[in-house]
Structure 1
Amino acid sequence: MRRALLLLLVLVAGGGWLIAGAGGDLRREHVTSAGVPLDVVHPAADGRRPGVVVAHGFSGSAKLMAPFGDTLAARGYTVVLLDFSGHGATTHPLPDQTASTDASTRALQSDLTAAVTRLRSLPDVDPARIALVGHSMGAGAVTRYAAAHPDITATVAISLPNAVVASAERPARLLTVVGALEFPGFREAATTVAAQRADRELKVVAGVEHITVLYAPETHRATVDWLDRALGGPFDDDAVPFPGRRLAGAALLGLAFLLGFYPLAARLGERRTAPPRARITVTAVATGAAVTRARITVTAVATGAAVVGALTARLLPTTAFPLAIGGYVAAYAAVTGVLLLLYAIRRGHHTPERPTHPRVLTVVPYAVVAIAVPVHLGMTNALPAGARWWLLPIIWAAFALLAYAAERATGGDPVALLAVAAVFVTVLAAAALTGLTHGFVVLVLVPLIGLLLWQTLWSVFLNRFAVPTWVIALTGSIVVTWPLAVTLPLTG
């Protein structure tokens, strides 16, 4: 027990040190300008320097782009990172769910105007030397802004979604960056735009895709090298800091919460003397073939339920929720959960559960803290703002229903639970590829898979003890729900 406690303390201390030390002695402040939340990062040295506005992508935030603030400020630039409409700490919605209408374009450009205006007003910034850096949706926005404002000295577009925002006439001095593992459309857009003018370049970063390109040291080196050449730098000789420092700290904190969950569950619950409910992997007469058949049956039922859920979710009123993609995904989870639960009820074999001691419910707020704290401190904004406060419990209820149905249908069998999760992700990806929901879903499948694996692992822990099915469902589902509810854009 002492060794486990020591390990947890080391993980927490290590994670805290990595996060707290990111950026070194840079000066930071958080302000709001024209309703746009801004994080301002100043170099340690005094004097007037060039300024850079950094813009995040769809479902991102200023916090997600914080490593670029560290990199650029360490090289002598004053940096402003913004939360676009519908994102991060802002309560102003994005006009549409895909950021593709003229209204959304105007909103993003207005947000950039607020950020650039604030940057130019800072006493340590030379207003004649301003550059822009953006990722994905933000890459399109900064490229469009630079094309309309020739006074922008240089631009870096990372994972540019399409080529329509640039032409052979403008913008000048544009670097396009793309991960070698990104979908072909991103590579094509970056290549096309870079080839339009002699003062543009293309940088392909090996071994990364749409999200990990943000943490690749090569991406950061290419960005500062491009801006140094355009703006007359470098303005500081400091080395480029490791971009994944905050992410590594968040990983250590998450691991600490993960490892701490088992002793917490053991202390609050009671070790089972028999398999939980009607687990299909352990029965007195089960054979290997019988177990396999049972798992295949559950997987087939889950597949049918998920297909029906994906098709009907588009028709339900939840699609009008002011949260991009969130309404569809919540409906998809709820319909799939209802159908899977009906199968579980018809299948029977549900063992009545003993009354729940109130102390067991402690695992639910623990799960909230375990996902929200590492994500907020080391990755992206994880504090609900505006309408997210009432959207969060609705989406949580939908995923809790799905988790409860999966627990009932599988009897808590980890292999079967993983199969249900795999079906859920696969059908959701198919829905995105066929136009039933936003194609952005495909870009975040890896994080979603990670969250579902986390949920399954906690189910394994809780199923070892006398924890009721509904508590397991609430605890596991919040791990998936919280990141969705706080990162998907608010829409109006």
Structure 2
Amino acid sequence: MSAAPPRHPPRTRTVVLLAVLAAVAAALGTAVLVRADAGLTVRQVTVDAVPMTEVRGGPPNPDARRPGVVIAHGFAGSARLMRPIADTVARRGAVALLIDFAGHGANPAGLGAGTSPATLAANLDVAVGHLRSQPDVDPAQIMLVGHSMGAGAVTRYAAEHPEIARTVAISLPEAGELPPGRPTELLLIVGGAEFPAFRRAADDAAKRGVTVGRRPAAVVPGVEHISVLFAPRTHEEIADWLPSMDGNAPPRPFDRLAGAALLVFAFAVGVVPVAALFLGRRTAVTLSPARRSAVALPSGRPVSSATALRGFVLLGLAVLAGGFGAAVAAILPTNRLPLAVGGHVSGFLLVTGILTIGGHRWLPAATRAPEIADEPVASQTPARAIRAALALAAYAILAVALPIHLGLTSARPVGARWWLLPLVLGACLVFLLGVERIAAGRTWRRLLVVAVTVVVLSTSAVVGLAPGFVLLVVPLFAVLLGWYVLWAAVLGRYAPGRWLPAVVGAALLGWPIATTLPLT
């Protein structure tokens, strides 16, 4: 087999066009995010160490009392994840109050004893008390809205506080603790594509006579556990369930997501001009005959058998490394980090990476992934390479943190997250160095390894080796790994070697794990 052809960086014209496209997409995304805030007044408050966000459809007016709505997120969520619901009820005339439970979002406190009902109830008590104290809120018209863990918290709270006017439970996890007939005026919302347990919980609550009102539950078709929060039907149901309604503004649940998506596109396109700026052009250098023979099969040798053997061996290495990583992650010290789910995932990635690197080193030479011969090499000093790596890693952090924080959920480190960041990033780096060792610069090999990793991690959650909540975050995990593959392919055109794509990929993957998953 002849050596793989050199992969040249894009032409200067292409780089310029991509820079312009990235700037336009970033401007459009910013405009969409600004539009999402149009007509709303937002105020950040902290009461008894609980961070909260007030959202109103206009300036406060003490002479016009409005309904008040406390909005509670689910496990691994945040106030920012629930912001579109707050926008909807605020535009309908209510005062919305978003809360960050302990261990989530901007709240640096730990979860406590396993997200105990007492901790959640205490946080809700602070939020309800603060909302009632607002001069433009009618204390007799307080409504609670909760999702998943938050749905369980608000229904329990409303059952014990009959003065709560109405309650909305989105994706209620279970209803066994609720007394029959309480809370009154409870609206259940569940996604049609959710896990069966959530559908059963809604059915159980309805059969036990907990709900009172128009109908026992609203099933939103075609959405699962997270997308149910952004479904227009969900927003209409909540707005119609308000104790009183002053306005008929249509919900716009996709504004923030659309703005964030444009920013993601801008950063993805922008990686090409950024790489060109910091890494520069490369000069093709032909390897010596001895080096060529070490990294590529001689011309004329049958390709099929060698390629098939190499593919099976590398696939087996990825499966074995991932399987062993899943098996031992629960007993590693990383599993005791104060980061729910994230500690387990970090341990899994760390062990998988170590085994992949070690296993590949001990493979027979004929089965190792060949490097690409005649590969252009970077004509830059080590100091410039380090500066480029730092700049690209910072760009990657901005690319992943900014869209998530502005359009989806909280991605800003607080409290213990600052010292957890280097640990999680280090585990991701070791894993991606292993991926790069197997891939040897080939995109399809990266895709193969990350696909195996996603399947192994999902399977470990199904069989009980990993927390069940992993299944809910695996889609985002897969998207982040796919983004790493895309960026690695771009960087490979400017700088050879394994370390740079691994460093940048670790920033893309590790930052969300360390900043979005709950502190314990």
- Shorter-chain TM-score range: over 0.9
**Paired positions, count:** 480
Distance 1:193 1:302, change over 3 A: same
1:252 equivalent in structure 2: 262
Query: What is the CA deviation profile of residues 175-200 of structure 1, one whole-angstrom value per residue up to 9, with x for unaligned ones?
Result: 11111111100011012112332615
Distance 1:209 1:154, change over 3 A: same
Residue 489 of structure 2 corresponds to residue 460 of structure 1:
yes
Residue 445 of structure 1, CA deviation: 1.6
2:322 equivalent in structure 1: 306
Counterparts of 1:152-167 in structure 2, within 5 Å, are: 152-167=164-179
Residue 237 of structure 1, CA deviation: 2.7
2:3 equivalent in structure 1: none
Q: Which amino acid aligns with 2:20?
A: L
Task: Please state whether the residue corresponding to 1:51 is helix, strand or coil.
Answer: strand
Q: Which amino acid aligns with 1:213?
A: V
Residue 235 of structure 1, CA deviation: 1.3
Question: Equivalent of 2:44, from 30, 34, 51?
Answer: 30
Query: What is the CA deviation profile of residues 46-95 of structure 1, one whole-angstrom value per residue up to 9, with x for unaligned ones?
Result: 31101000001111110111001100000000010000000001111001
Distance 1:427 1:245, change over 3 A: same
Task: Please state whether the residue corresponding to 1:41 is helix, strand or coil.
Answer: strand
Task: Please state whether the residue corresponding to 2:470 is helix, strand or coil.
Answer: helix
1:376 equivalent in structure 2: 405
Residue 166 of structure 1, CA deviation: 2.2
Taking the aligned partners of 1:290 and 1:114, their CA distance within structure 2 comes to: 66
Residue 98 of structure 2 corresponds to residue 84 of structure 1:
no
Residue 246 of structure 2 corresponds to residue 235 of structure 1:
yes
Please tell me whether the aligned partners of residues 140 and 162 of structure 1 are also in contact (alpha carbons under 8 angstroms): yes
Distance 1:22 1:274, change over 3 A: farther
Q: Which amino acid aligns with 1:219?
A: T
Taking the aligned partners of 2:286 and 2:171, their CA distance within structure 1 comes to: 49
Distance 1:358 1:444, change over 3 A: closer
Please tell me whether the aligned partners of residues 272 and 465 of structure 1 are also in contact (alpha carbons under 8 angstroms): no
Query: What is the CA deviation profile of residues 268-309 of structure 1, one whole-angstrom value per residue up to 9, with x for unaligned ones?
Result: 33447479999x998664735533432332121111111111
Please tell me whether the aligned partners of residues 441 and 497 of structure 2 are also in contact (alpha carbons under 8 angstroms): no
Residue 304 of structure 2 corresponds to residue 294 of structure 1:
no
2:7 equivalent in structure 1: none
Residue 90 of structure 2 corresponds to residue 113 of structure 1:
no
Question: Equivalent of 1:131, from 143, 157, 171?
Answer: 143
2:460 equivalent in structure 1: 431
Taking the aligned partners of 2:277 and 2:20, their CA distance within structure 1 comes to: 18
Residue 339 of structure 2 corresponds to residue 323 of structure 1:
yes
2:232 equivalent in structure 1: 217
Taking the aligned partners of 2:212 and 2:263, their CA distance within structure 1 comes to: 44
Please tell me whether the aligned partners of residues 425 and 510 of structure 2 are also in contact (alpha carbons under 8 angstroms): yes
Taking the aligned partners of 1:282 and 1:363, their CA distance within structure 2 comes to: 30
Instruction: Report the RMSD for the aligned CA atoms in angstroms.
Output: 2.3
Taking the aligned partners of 1:387 and 1:151, their CA distance within structure 2 comes to: 37
Taking the aligned partners of 2:267 and 2:224, their CA distance within structure 1 comes to: 28
Query: What is the CA deviation profile of residues 220-258 of structure 1, one whole-angstrom value per residue up to 9, with x for unaligned ones?
Result: 00111122xxx1x22123222x10110110110011011
Q: Which amino acid aligns with 1:387?
A: A
Residue 381 of structure 1, CA deviation: 1.0
Question: Equivalent of 2:34, from 15, 20, 23?
Answer: 20
What 5-or-longer segments of structure 1 have no aligned partner? none
Please tell me whether the aligned partners of residues 19 and 269 of structure 2 are also in contact (alpha carbons under 8 angstroms): no
Task: Please state whether the residue corresponding to 2:70 is helix, strand or coil.
Answer: strand
Please tell me whether the aligned partners of residues 19 and 273 of structure 2 are also in contact (alpha carbons under 8 angstroms): no
2:212 equivalent in structure 1: 199
Task: Please state whether the residue corresponding to 2:54 is helix, strand or coil.
Answer: strand
Taking the aligned partners of 2:274 and 2:295, their CA distance within structure 1 comes to: 26
Residue 72 of structure 2 corresponds to residue 55 of structure 1:
yes
Please tell me whether the aligned partners of residues 272 and 466 of structure 1 are also in contact (alpha carbons under 8 angstroms): no
Taking the aligned partners of 2:307 and 2:236, their CA distance within structure 1 comes to: 53
Residue 423 of structure 2 corresponds to residue 394 of structure 1:
yes
Query: What is the CA deviation profile of residues 423-464 of structure 1, one whole-angstrom value per residue up to 9, with x for unaligned ones?
Result: 111111122122222111101221111111001111111112
Task: Please state whether the residue corresponding to 2:36 is helix, strand or coil.
Answer: coil
Residues 400-409 or 434-443, more deviating: 434-443
Residue 23 of structure 1, CA deviation: 3.4
Residues 313-322 or 175-184, more deviating: 313-322
Task: Please state whether the residue corresponding to 2:464 is helix, strand or coil.
Answer: coil
Taking the aligned partners of 1:443 and 1:467, their CA distance within structure 2 comes to: 35
Taking the aligned partners of 1:284 and 1:131, their CA distance within structure 2 comes to: 73
2:276 equivalent in structure 1: 266
What 5-or-longer segments of structure 2 have no aligned partner? 1-12
1:67 equivalent in structure 2: 84
Structure (1 or 2) with the larger CA radius of gyration? 2
Residue 501 of structure 2 corresponds to residue 472 of structure 1:
yes
Residue 408 of structure 1, CA deviation: 0.8
Please tell me whether the aligned partners of residues 180 and 208 of structure 1 are also in contact (alpha carbons under 8 angstroms): yes
Please tell me whether the aligned partners of residues 53 and 133 of structure 1 are also in contact (alpha carbons under 8 angstroms): yes
Task: Please state whether the residue corresponding to 1:21 is helix, strand or coil.
Answer: helix
1:359 equivalent in structure 2: 387
Counterparts of 1:180-195 in structure 2, within 5 Å, are: 180-195=192-207
Please tell me whether the aligned partners of residues 140 and 165 of structure 1 are also in contact (alpha carbons under 8 angstroms): no
Taking the aligned partners of 1:205 and 1:115, their CA distance within structure 2 comes to: 28
Taking the aligned partners of 1:377 and 1:365, their CA distance within structure 2 comes to: 18
Taking the aligned partners of 1:142 and 1:181, their CA distance within structure 2 comes to: 23
Please tell me whether the aligned partners of residues 68 and 243 of structure 1 are also in contact (alpha carbons under 8 angstroms): yes
Task: Please state whether the residue corresponding to 1:53 is helix, strand or coil.
Answer: strand
Residue 263 of structure 1, CA deviation: 2.0
Taking the aligned partners of 1:71 and 1:12, their CA distance within structure 2 comes to: 25
Residues 212-221 or 312-321, more deviating: 312-321
Q: Which amino acid aligns with 2:445?
A: A
Residue 373 of structure 1, CA deviation: 1.1
Task: Please state whether the residue corresponding to 1:294 is helix, strand or coil.
Answer: helix
Please tell me whether the aligned partners of residues 298 and 410 of structure 1 are also in contact (alpha carbons under 8 angstroms): no
Taking the aligned partners of 1:260 and 1:111, their CA distance within structure 2 comes to: 42
Residue 111 of structure 1, CA deviation: 0.6
Counterparts of 1:329-348 in structure 2, within 5 Å, are: 329-347=345-363
Q: Percent of counterpart pairs with the same letter?
A: 43
Distance 1:209 1:122, change over 3 A: same
Taking the aligned partners of 1:369 and 1:422, their CA distance within structure 2 comes to: 25
Please tell me whether the aligned partners of residues 61 and 381 of structure 1 are also in contact (alpha carbons under 8 angstroms): yes
